[in-house]
Amino acid sequence: MNKILWFLVWVAIVTTSVASAQNSNLAFFDASDRQLNIDFVELERWSFFTDRLLYPPSAEWENSSRVSIHEESRKIGFGTFALVVLITPALKNSEIAIDVPSLFSSYELFANGKSIGSKGKVGKDAQSSSPDIKPAVYSFVATTDTVLLVLHASNFYPNRGGIKGQFKLGSAQLLGARLQRITRLDYILFFTLFIIAVVSLCLYYIRFEHKYVFLFLSIFLFSWLMRCLVGYYYRILDWANVSWVWLMRLEYLSLMFTTVFAMLFIASLFQSDFQKWVKTITVLIVVVFSVTLLVLPSEIFVPAIWIYLGFSSVVLFYIMFVIMKAFVNDRGGASMMLMTMFAGSLTFGYVIICFLGYFEINMLIYDFGFIVLAILIVISVSVRLSRIDRLSETNVLTMEHFFGEKNLK
């Protein structure tokens, strides 16, 4: 009898909460049947009020429109997003968290009327606002089973806008543990790249043969490391306060440097299969692009991301072509390098597809995939250098091909 009574009371509470939330005329999400301490929910459909920064309660909420926060955040100058979430009564007075992904804007987030977190400065024009881009997890205590989320956002800076990922609601413990796993894997990737890059640089000074392979491999890995520091979770902001404009410059420069030194690294491994004029033109284009990234204002270079991505894609396709050519010509170690590049193309393809917004990137897959790729590159280089046929892979023979650089010194 008591169980039936408690069930009826719970139904009454839920019904009252749902009715109250729906009467507010705001977008509504029912998460009462989800165990938020085990799984999180994604919050996609919100009410939106363009060109208004509203605080609860507001009479203007009677005239709201339901939108996809991903789509609308690409169009706004400034505005207010609002969402009512119903949670299970068992989570009342417990700590709830919201995982806010990277927004190409500034924002301030409220839960039940209280500010729980912000990035940058929200304003009604470019002069009164400033952007920030790093994702964050904010926690608060849910005192009721109905949570009103309000997001003030502004975006007056040249970018494609939008959000890198979904808003997630779950227990603070769950989302905190998830963030810790991502952080640990991020730093494992950083240290993996750093150690391999330093060892390669040391080998450049120690070895006599194929020393430029290690030089370009080292610079390529340092560029790749910088790329990881200024992308997605923007770990560089854990250590330094970098302005939004310079963060964009570094992100784009890391793309250029990673591309050109990947090409020079592969060219040093397969010299007879790589056209010298291709290297010259690529380096010149990268120099021009790098200068534009340093001197042009953000409203010009930021929207040009598709030009930079297109150029990098062309270079990577040529690198694949060279390795396939080396494989056909039966170059020593080409098979292993081809397998590595295929794995790399899958990994980078996954990142590009996520960047285009087809689905949210999984940082665990991202980090683990690049850690494996870095290890495969080391193995491929070792196999390639151990199998280079110095007599057959050149058009001009010198004394070094018969005796080696070391024996001639």
How far apart are alpha carbons 313 and 311 in whole angstroms?
Answer: 5
**Domain map of the chain by residue range?**
24-175, 207-408
Nearest to 334 by CA among 274, 246, 399: 274
Cβ contact 252:293 at 8 Å = yes
Cβ contact 262:213 at 8 Å = no
DSSP secondary structure string, 54-81? --SS-GGGGG-EEEEHHHHTTT-SEEEE
- Residue position matching structure tokens 């390669």: 200
Q: pLDDT tens across 265-294, in order?
A: 998 888 888 888 888 999 999 999 999 999
Residues 6+ apart with CB under 8 A from 132: 106, 119, 120, 244
Q: How many CB atoms lie within 10 A of CB 229?
A: 22
Cβ contact 82:27 at 8 Å = yes
Cβ contact 251:312 at 8 Å = no
pLDDT band at 4 (very low <50, low <70, confident <90, very high): very low
Q: pLDDT tens across 91-143, in order?
A: 778 888 999 988 777 899 999 889 999 988 898 888 888 888 888 899 999 88
How far apart are alpha carbons 116 and 59 in whole angstroms?
Answer: 23
Q: pLDDT tens across 152-162, in order?
A: 988 876 555 56
How far apart are alpha carbons 184 and 354 in whole angstroms?
Answer: 21
How far apart are alpha carbons 238 and 250 in whole angstroms?
Answer: 15
Superfamily of domain covering 24-175: Galactose-binding domain-like (2.60.120.260)
